[in-house]
Chains A and B, each alone.
Chain A
């Protein structure tokens, strides 16, 4: 059996990749994908701990998170469409109207 810390290392690695993507990329679609990575890192943790403790709650929770991620993508895509319609591109550094 694979010891649980390996799963945690994997989850941390995936999370950091996602975070790196959010902090460096300017393309909104990359943003969306990075967020997806971060969420799945959390999912891996859920499932790993559920497996480790022999408790199904974590796995059920993971299913919920997947559903939530699907919804989030739907909204995210919608936002990106509006972004494109208004600014003609999907670079997140261009729209800065929402400030002081």
Chain B
């Protein structure tokens, strides 16, 4: 049998070729190069499925394919790491990428957008970079692709660069995520300085070395700055890398770029700002989870930030009027849940939610895109209403996605969110930060359900509030197709990991994702969920009535809260012509609507740090550029003098050649010993 792992580079390279084709020849191709992108991502999807099947067949792959800088101390390499986690992520990314490419035919081509080759080139490069990030086998390679997806995000948010909003939003997204990435970069350097390697997996990988360096074992000596305690130093490294994660996964306080990023085309929002790029942060923590579990402090910080972000973003989603804004805040909030799960030791729960969220949030964004097409690019929910009967496919798929997002049984989101809260709950006793995270996560459940169904009721139910909503533009197969696929996934993805059902009815083996990530079919030693549980700091203890009781109580509470939120939304906005109840909140509404004035705070902080920037600017312009400019002016002045010997007089040239010949003869003859 042909080895699937030999084709892993092709998974990454196919979308890259589609990028080259769209960039170079897109304008001559039908549909601006869309078919190249669809073919390439479909090819990636098939190869990813094959790779996943190979992993299921007991395979694993961890190879360095190229060393681009090597030294005595360490080597900088590109390599591939395929284990259950990256195989799963490959399938998710390439699947969503295919669907988004198809949807783009409806959203971009059919709407007569210009600059399509640029668009498809951006999508291709993004998909390639994201897949490259997923298969990266070391932290530095991951960092490079992390930056590349950030660049693609910048390019695609700013797609409509002739309008004032998108370029500014793109700049903001780039700068804010870059701010986090600086910490990440310092963290990467720290990892290299400490361990001399940045590999994720294997004997000499940095999580393995870190585990061996910690006190009970202590068999490995690592470098720490100023003789700092090893454990503390690991926490510092973890938190540094976490900076990049917080920026990319839009966690508090670096979440402000994501709502603005909604200026980009809607398929881009679905692909980059819902399903994949923002997942990069969470994926990174999961990837190096063996390192994070060694530091209880880092885990507690992750859990608390996650829980806080989940609640914080959800409250802002409640008052937004624009469809995509609500979805943006819900994305931030859902990634908060994943961080909470990771911080709470729920590695599988986080990956589970990552999976289900990728599907149902891509679905919701594409559904929103469909509504936006129908509404002639008006996103204000108060101008909609009554779209239910006019666009049934969009409505039912959007409803499936909303039920999943709100966490209603038995849709995908219920299972994953419930497992996150369960993990946080059973690990919480004795961990105040974790318990705080859990409480905020729990409080966010009804808020999530409320804003989700406020959105559904305002958009699809009641009477149409404008002429456009009364007679929306129809959408074609290329919009309905991806919606149907993702809608089905949003309903059934939960089935891959029904832990509560397994616990309550004692059905062994139906928690497929747990078994998958536990290397039951295949995987790399030291990258399995039970290994993480072994070295992790948490011990789980049931709260009420044993394990079964805790599971049931947890599920009942979160489902009850979700239903309460849903009911409240129905009560307030379910009528034929709902009123703007948010106005009753008064001052609170203003605070929420202006995102707690965090944007203003960041601008204020930016002005406070102007002096630092000024000094850096002087250093950059004066010293760095000064050296460069100095070298060039010396060459320039020297060249100016020397060129004067070029007189243009043939006789002088002949004279110089003669002199040169004589000089050469004299030197050679003296050197050759003729005159001695």
A binds B: yes
Residues of A within 8 A of B (CB): 19, 22-24, 26, 31, 92-93, 95-100
Alpha-carbon distance between A93 and B644 when the two chains are bound, in angstroms: 16
A-chain residues with CB within 8 Å of residue B654 when the two chains form the complex: 22-23
A19-B658, A23-B658 known; A96+B648 contact, CB < 8 A: yes
Alpha-carbon distance between A97 and B651 when the two chains are bound, in angstroms: 14
A42 vs chain B, min Cβ distance (A): 14
B-chain residues with CB within 8 Å of residue A22 when the two chains form the complex: 651, 654
A22-B651, A95-B648 known; A100+B643 contact, CB < 8 A: yes
A-chain residues with CB within 8 Å of residue B647 when the two chains form the complex: 96, 99
Residue B609 interfacial (CB < 8 Å): no
Q: 17 pairs across A/B with beta carbons < 8 Å?
A: A19-B658, A22-B654, A23-B654, A23-B655, A23-B658, A24-B651, A31-B650, A92-B649, A92-B651, A93-B649, A93-B650, A95-B648, A96-B647, A98-B648, A99-B648, A100-B644, A100-B646
B-chain residues with CB within 8 Å of residue A97 when the two chains form the complex: 648
A-chain residues with CB within 8 Å of residue B658 when the two chains form the complex: 19, 23
B215 vs chain A, min Cβ distance (A): 72
Known pairs A99-B646, A100-B643 / 9 extra A-B pairs, C-beta < 8 Å: A19-B658, A22-B654, A23-B651, A23-B655, A31-B650, A92-B649, A93-B651, A96-B649, A100-B646
Alpha-carbon distance between A47 and B116 when the two chains are bound, in angstroms: 73
Alpha-carbon distance between A31 and B644 when the two chains are bound, in angstroms: 24
B231 vs chain A, min Cβ distance (A): 68
Alpha-carbon distance between A19 and B651 when the two chains are bound, in angstroms: 11
B-chain residues with CB within 8 Å of residue A93 when the two chains form the complex: 649-651
B-chain residues with CB within 8 Å of residue A24 when the two chains form the complex: 651
| A-B pairs with lowest CB-CB distance, top 5 | A96-B648, A99-B648, A100-B643, A92-B650, A99-B646
A-chain residues with CB within 8 Å of residue B650 when the two chains form the complex: 31, 92-93
Alpha-carbon distance between A99 and B643 when the two chains are bound, in angstroms: 8
Q: Whose C-beta in chain B lies nearest to the C-beta of A93?
A: B649
Query: For chain B, which range describes its interface: under 10, 10 to 19, 20 to 34, or 35 or more residues?
Result: 10 to 19
A51 vs chain B, min Cβ distance (A): 25
Q: Within residues 605 to 648 of chain B, which ones have a CB less than 8 A from any CB in chain A? A: 643-644, 646-648
B15 vs chain A, min Cβ distance (A): 51
B660 vs chain A, min Cβ distance (A): 13
A57 vs chain B, min Cβ distance (A): 25
Q: Whose C-beta in chain A lies nearest to the C-beta of B661?
A: A19
Q: Whose C-beta in chain B lies nearest to the C-beta of A100?
A: B643
Q: Whose C-beta in chain B lies nearest to the C-beta of A35?
A: B654
A-chain residues with CB within 8 Å of residue B644 when the two chains form the complex: 100
Alpha-carbon distance between A98 and B646 when the two chains are bound, in angstroms: 8
Cβ contact of B651, chosen from A26, A98, A99, A100, cutoff 8 A: A26
B251 vs chain A, min Cβ distance (A): 61
Alpha-carbon distance between A26 and B644 when the two chains are bound, in angstroms: 21
Alpha-carbon distance between A48 and B39 when the two chains are bound, in angstroms: 75
B-chain residues with CB within 8 Å of residue A92 when the two chains form the complex: 649-651
A5 vs chain B, min Cβ distance (A): 16
Alpha-carbon distance between A96 and B652 when the two chains are bound, in angstroms: 11
A43 vs chain B, min Cβ distance (A): 19
B-chain residues with CB within 8 Å of residue A23 when the two chains form the complex: 651, 654-655, 658
B589 vs chain A, min Cβ distance (A): 72
Alpha-carbon distance between A34 and B606 when the two chains are bound, in angstroms: 77
Interface flags for B640-676 (1: CB within 8 Å of A; 0: not) read: 0001101111110011001000000000000000000
A90 vs chain B, min Cβ distance (A): 12
B8 vs chain A, min Cβ distance (A): 57
Alpha-carbon distance between A98 and B647 when the two chains are bound, in angstroms: 8
Alpha-carbon distance between A98 and B644 when the two chains are bound, in angstroms: 12
B-chain residues with CB within 8 Å of residue A96 when the two chains form the complex: 647-649
B-chain residues with CB within 8 Å of residue A95 when the two chains form the complex: 648
Alpha-carbon distance between A22 and B648 when the two chains are bound, in angstroms: 15
Q: Whose C-beta in chain B lies nearest to the C-beta of A24?
A: B651
B-chain residues with CB within 8 Å of residue A26 when the two chains form the complex: 651
B636 vs chain A, min Cβ distance (A): 13
Q: Whose C-beta in chain B lies nearest to the C-beta of A31?
A: B650
Alpha-carbon distance between A52 and B643 when the two chains are bound, in angstroms: 47
A-chain residues with CB within 8 Å of residue B651 when the two chains form the complex: 22-24, 26, 92-93
Alpha-carbon distance between A93 and B220 when the two chains are bound, in angstroms: 80
B122 vs chain A, min Cβ distance (A): 47
B387 vs chain A, min Cβ distance (A): 74
B649 vs chain A, min Cβ distance (A): 6
Alpha-carbon distance between A11 and B655 when the two chains are bound, in angstroms: 20
Q: Within residues 15 to 51 of chain B, which ones have a CB less than 8 A from any CB in chain A? A: none
Specify which of B644, B654, B658 lies most central, judged by the most chain A CB atoms within 10 Å of its CB: B654
A31 vs chain B, min Cβ distance (A): 8
A-chain residues with CB within 8 Å of residue B643 when the two chains form the complex: 100
Alpha-carbon distance between A97 and B646 when the two chains are bound, in angstroms: 10
Alpha-carbon distance between A99 and B646 when the two chains are bound, in angstroms: 5
Alpha-carbon distance between A19 and B644 when the two chains are bound, in angstroms: 24
A58 vs chain B, min Cβ distance (A): 22
Alpha-carbon distance between A95 and B653 when the two chains are bound, in angstroms: 13
Alpha-carbon distance between A95 and B644 when the two chains are bound, in angstroms: 16
A8 vs chain B, min Cβ distance (A): 15
B-chain residues with CB within 8 Å of residue A100 when the two chains form the complex: 643-644, 646
Specify which of B643, B644, B646, B649 lies most central, judged by the most chain A CB atoms within 10 Å of its CB: B649
Alpha-carbon distance between A93 and B648 when the two chains are bound, in angstroms: 8
Alpha-carbon distance between A83 and B658 when the two chains are bound, in angstroms: 24
Alpha-carbon distance between A26 and B652 when the two chains are bound, in angstroms: 11
